[in-house]
Amino acid sequence: MRQIKTTALAALMSATALTTVYAADPIKIGVVTPLSGTYAGIGQQVKWGLELATKEVNAAGGIMGRPVELIFEDEEANPAVAVQKADKVFQVNKVDFLTGTVNSGSTLAVGQVAERAGKLMATTVSFADSITGDKCSPNVYRVNARAGQQSAALAVWMSKDKPKAKVFYLGPDYEMGRSTVAAFKQSAEKVGAQTGGEVFAPLDSKDYTQYFGQLRAARPQVLYTSVAGNDTVRLFTQLQEFGLLNNLTVVGASGTVTAQNIGAIGKAAEGFVTGVGYSAEIDTPENKKFVEAFKAANKIDPDLYGADSYGLIYAYKAAVEKAKSTDTDKVREAFKDLTWKTPQGEKTLRAGDHQAVQTMYVVRVNNGKFGIVGQVKGEDAIGADTCTRF
């Protein structure tokens, strides 16, 4: 088991030659994220986004005069490991706030740890609707778009470009996979799509060809998938090798094809369409500035995970400054309907379920790059608040 602990403050202060002298103790943020395993690429974008925003915040004087310190732990996309690491950063490192979880199962499990510790946490990645739905927690926030928001945007595009298409579903067999498939199936059927079948593959699957017989038999026009990370590379490569991409439009969850794996997927990613809360192609001065800074620091475009993790630091900064404290109850109150600026525009944290409301985009891969082909207002994509715990 690889354990990575980074005291980002010291490195960042050295790298940027900060002259600010802080009289107060740092505000500690625990980052429990996959830095190894199939989701390591996603965790890397999370790390880069958080580090860039932290560097900027510290260079500008920190939060209420206190520097921000990031403490990283590798959770290997394993909920059991994530629970151990979250407990460690809360109890040993005494962090004020926690983020970084990718696997939706990890986010749900770590949310219970946060409740027991009396601390708040936010995911910048996990999609499962249940996190801010029937399994919502008063201590858990989500600043990225959930599966329902992604599906609403993608279904609008499909109703125009692939009306009444037969759709086959292939998801990873855990909370996120089943949630994303259910969310998109509901949205697609509302706009006239037919369901041609569904299968769920174990996380970190090496062989997807065992499902290709069912896929061929269904004769779908569209394949929806929500596999992610290295699993996407294997799935798309095998689909191409078996000639299944010739007459099939592949659409999917926003984490399926990203800046981290699109190079490894190669031509098999051509034509892939997804609904996302962020694209590096968003044509605004704020996003161009962010993309330039991110590329300068990391030699790669930011994806939705990097952008949403970057934006989280500014959300937490705004809440702590509004609360004038890092106290859990005061920050929770400050988070209610909080609006803050991000590279993709303003977001609002809905008080009723702790879900971010944001503009959604539809993007398609063309010549190895994503291009924006549609847009849906945040209010039209957010869906109902189904949280009943608070």
CA distance 277 to 234: 25
Closest CA to 82 of 60, 96, 102, 63: 102
pLDDT at 1 over 50: no
The pairing of beta strand 249-252 with beta strand 222-225: parallel
CA distance 386 to 376: 21
Closest CA to 344 of 319, 323, 365, 375: 375
Please answer whether residues 67 and 58 qualify as being in contact, where contact means their C-beta atoms are separated by less than 8 angstroms: yes
pLDDT tens-digit map of 44-62: 999 999 999 999 999 999 9
Tokens of 77: 């996309």
pLDDT of residue 20: 61
Closest CA to 340 of 311, 360, 379: 311
Ordered structural domains, the chain, with CATH: 27-145+281-358 (3.40.50.2300), 148-276 (3.40.50.2300)
pLDDT tens-digit map of 70-120: 999 999 989 999 999 999 999 999 999 999 999 999 999 999 999 999 999
User: What are the φ/ψ torsions at residue 174 (nearest 5 degrees)?
Assistant: -160, -175
Q: What is the mean pLDDT of the chain?
A: 93
pTM of the predicted model as reported, rounded to 2 decimal places: 0.88
User: What are the φ/ψ torsions at residue 282 (nearest 5 degrees)?
Assistant: -60, 125
Contacts of 191 (CB under 8 A, 6+ apart): 155, 156, 158, 159, 163
pLDDT of residue 217: 97
pLDDT of residue 182: 93
> In terms of DSSP H, where are the helices of the chain?
8-16, 40-59, 79-91, 104-117, 147-161, 175-190, 212-218, 230-241, 262-265, 285-298, 304-323, 328-335, 378-381
From 89-103, 173-187, 212-226, the region with the lowest mean pLDDT? 173-187
pLDDT-based confidence at 8, cuts 50/70/90? Answer: very low
How much is the average pLDDT of 303-312? 96
Contacts of the segment 34-38: beta carbons below 8 A, 24+ positions apart: 34/74, 34/75, 34/76, 34/77, 34/102, 34/103, 35/2, 35/4, 35/72, 35/74, 36/2, 36/74, 36/76, 37/76, 37/77, 37/78, 37/204, 38/77, 38/203, 38/204, 38/228, 38/229, 38/230, 38/231
